Structure 1
Amino acid sequence: MTVRPLIGVSTYLESGVRWGVWELPAALLPAGYPRLVQQAGGLACMLPPDAPERAAAAVARIDGLVIAGGPDVDPARYGAARSPRTGPPAPERDAWELALIGAALATGTPLLGICRGMQLLNVALGGTLVQHLDGHAEAVGVFGGHPVNPVPGTRYAALAPEKTTVPTYHHQAVDRLGEGLLPSAHAADGTVEAIELPWDGGWALGVQWHPEAGEDTRVMRALVAAASR
């Protein structure tokens, strides 16, 4: 019997979520994330915000880690003043997910950051963010799409060597790259659309777009394959 690797996915933490007769705080995740993990051959489990000191224990029990999209990273995390166009902070998520990223990097656990997750990976390694850019979200609550160009010789280019149109919805992006990270895809306007550690630096990849909202499973399949090893 094939053993599927266990892939932990970080979650939202929201108040006032309503389902049925209930309206309660909820740790939740759009279904596209676990479905993508499953389609790629993994078993998905949710990692809701917890005390940061428990992150290492959580990462020790999984084979791969996905940091999901979500709210803007608090600019204080990268030493910047808050822009008027930056969204409300999510302190529990910032603390927990930065701790998860740190634990994954320390142990060599394969890591995929999606949108906010890519931005947090950059911040975790000392990078900064552009707090607002236009043209990467078509309408509120609607995924758009634009092409990204891989950087030859990178891990991402090995997965997707051609120009690819990806599902996109973001208004923040990488500014100064974190220590050791390489850009591995760009949008037509020059925005960094993917980042990664070099081949000898462990398996860590961040993508600015939302693969869980599309049909291309290559990025998640690569994470699951790395987690299987």
Structure 2
Amino acid sequence: MSHSGSTHRALPAVSQAQFLSCLSEAGKRRDGAPLDVAACLTAAGFSTQLSSITLSADTPLTHALLCGVQFLNCTIDWCSFNASSLSGSQFIACNLRNASFIDASIENCLFRDCIMREVMMACASLDGVGFERCDLVIGSFENARILSSRFDTVTMAGTHFLNAEVRDSSIRNSNLENSVFFDVLRDFDVDSDSRKTVGTTRPTAVLPVDPADRGTSIPRVLVKLDQAAGMIPLRIAMRSPSIDRRKFDHEIGVALQRIAVSPAGGLPIPQRLLQTVDDDPETFAQLASITAKAKTLSANVNAIVLPGGEDIPSALYGEEEDTPRSGSDYRRSLLELALLRESLNRGVPMMAICRGFQLVNVYFGAKMLQNVEGQRGTRDFNLTQGSRNGIYGEAMRETLASVVSHHQAIPVSAQSLVEHLKPSVVHEGLVEAVESPHAGGVPALMLQFHPEFFRTEPMYRAPESFVSRSESLPMSAANQIFWQIFSDAAGAHRAKQAVIRELKGPRSVPPSASAI
């Protein structure tokens, strides 16, 4: 007679401290092998059911084995299950916030009665997975492989399925309002009631994110897009694991070398890089997959955000790197350059903040100062005399106090050579905002400073840093107006796209569901 069930029940539950200690001890002994969580628990004499445990970014569950582990009433906050293998595991009544399952193998698992906010399943393989009575909010199944899985009685507002592969999977009794499927909805078996809910009620916006680096700016941008601008933020992997990093690095090196030995032709290096990829997509297959991703996104959204972050590779503006920093990974830069180009070509409204602002300037040929001092804290900004009737006129009628946090910058001397942009705000010789000199162009807000820090509480508490402390610094209420300007531009784009669809004739899906 089997006693496996009674044995399971007889084992005591593990406490928070015991669980972390168990993982720590097992991690010391595994010699590079995946951490087997169930074996770790049973070897220590504990049940494989985790009840009311909190998992965080410090919980070592990357590259782990989770077979038959049950999470009950757990809080899973910024925990990474990346590249892990989950089989027969269950998440019951859990709160998952910014959990990441990138490149994970998830087989015969169940998520039931869970709140799942900003959960990333990019490039994950899901086979026989059930989502029952769950709220999946602003989630991502980008490049995921979804087989024989079911979504039953779920809501998926802000969740997207960019480039997902779907087979033998179903959606039942669900609210799909403001879910974005990028043409893969047709691959699901969807019941009639769920299908009636398909469509978007608000503008959609691309927001590149890195789940491995919580940062302090991007989560606040997301909150502003959602709450202040009234948009649907789509969290897109800025460094997708679907890209072969070794091949990508080789291709970017070849492309930059090809540019270095060829005539300039009057175009800045970033534009020549994109053109090089377009001209030879077979040689640059990894790079071309990223530019293709930008095309797909720009054709299906109403706004694009280029957020703050690490340094821009100095090779993109033709200089050697002063000091080795974090800008050597070109995957993000290529994606954002391609998104920038598509924004300009398709007329998709854009907001570029800090690094994004610098990238726009570099795209048009500006040079950067690689290291400037003292650019942290609040600053008072005023519009240049010729910009008072421009895109920032309403937000900056009076002096604007906003936050800066950067060590690279665009000097006026470098930006003045860029004919496609004009300085709108200059502070101590550095350009803090630019706009297009041409009336009627693509609505674009390009800011070195950070309006997202005005009265924004993200879904987590960031580690103590200057930028988290800046929440207490005085900022002008007019910082909020930038988000309204962006919202109006995205709303106008959405309305225009609806008219275009109507002129093209009836479709088999609701007109509001432009991105399904």
1:93 and 2:294 correspond: no
The 8 Å contact of residues 155 and 184 in structure 1, kept in 2 or not, is answered as no
Instruction: Assess, with a 3 A threshold, how the Cα gap between structure 1 residues 133 and 32 changes in structure 2: closer, same or farther.
Output: same
1:159 positional shift: 2.8
What do you get for the CA RMSD once the two structures are aligned? 2.3
The one-letter code matched in structure 1 to 2:444 is: A
1:158 and 2:394 correspond: yes
Q: Distance in 1 between matches of 2:225 and 2:315?
A: 32
Q: Distance in 2 between matches of 1:126 and 1:165?
A: 29
Q: Distance in 1 between matches of 2:205 and 2:292?
A: 20
The 8 Å contact of residues 306 and 356 in structure 2, kept in 1 or not, is answered as yes
Q: Give the alignment partner of residue 66 of structure 1, picking from 277, 297, 305.
A: 305
What secondary structure is seen at the aligned counterpart in 1 of 2:432?
strand
The one-letter code matched in structure 2 to 1:147 is: D
1:190 and 2:429 correspond: yes
1:214 positional shift: 1.7
So what's the TM-score if we normalise by structure 2?
Answer: 0.39
Partner of 2:201: 3
The 8 Å contact of residues 207 and 236 in structure 2, kept in 1 or not, is answered as yes
1:112-157 CA distances to partner (integer Å, 9 max, x unpaired)? 10000000111112222111111112xxxxxx21111112233113
Matches within 5 A, 1:1-229: 3-12=201-210, 14=212, 30-38=218-226, 39-49=228-238, 50=240, 51-84=290-323, 87-137=326-376, 144-151=377-384, 152-175=388-411, 176-177=414-415, 178-187=418-427, 189-198=428-437, 199-215=439-455, 216-229=479-492
Q: Which protein, 1 or 2, shows the higher relative CO under an 8 Å CA cutoff with sep ≥ 6?
A: 1
The 8 Å contact of residues 194 and 206 in structure 1, kept in 2 or not, is answered as yes
What secondary structure is seen at the aligned counterpart in 1 of 2:394?
helix
The one-letter code matched in structure 1 to 2:329 is: A
Q: Distance in 1 between matches of 2:211 and 2:422?
A: 30
1:88-135 CA distances to partner (integer Å, 9 max, x unpaired)? 423111111111111111111001100000001111122221111111
The 8 Å contact of residues 13 and 27 in structure 1, kept in 2 or not, is answered as no
What secondary structure is seen at the aligned counterpart in 2 of 1:192?
strand
The 8 Å contact of residues 193 and 207 in structure 1, kept in 2 or not, is answered as yes
The 8 Å contact of residues 354 and 449 in structure 2, kept in 1 or not, is answered as yes
How many residue pairs align between the two structures?
211
The 8 Å contact of residues 59 and 109 in structure 1, kept in 2 or not, is answered as yes
1:13 positional shift: 6.2
What secondary structure is seen at the aligned counterpart in 1 of 2:440?
helix
The one-letter code matched in structure 2 to 1:168 is: V
Instruction: Assess, with a 3 A threshold, how the Cα gap between structure 1 residues 86 and 184 changes in structure 2: closer, same or farther.
Output: farther
Q: Distance in 2 between matches of 1:86 and 1:174?
A: 18
1:85 positional shift: 7.0
Q: Distance in 2 between matches of 1:29 and 1:156?
A: 21
Q: Distance in 1 between matches of 2:372 and 2:324?
A: 10
Q: Distance in 1 between matches of 2:366 and 2:210?
A: 23
The one-letter code matched in structure 2 to 1:6 is: T
Partner of 1:23: none
What secondary structure is seen at the aligned counterpart in 2 of 1:31?
helix
So what's the TM-score if we normalise by structure 1?
Answer: 0.84
Q: Distance in 1 between matches of 2:393 and 2:355?
A: 21
Query: Larger radius of gyration, structure 1 or 2?
Result: 2
The 8 Å contact of residues 12 and 28 in structure 1, kept in 2 or not, is answered as no
More strand by share: 1
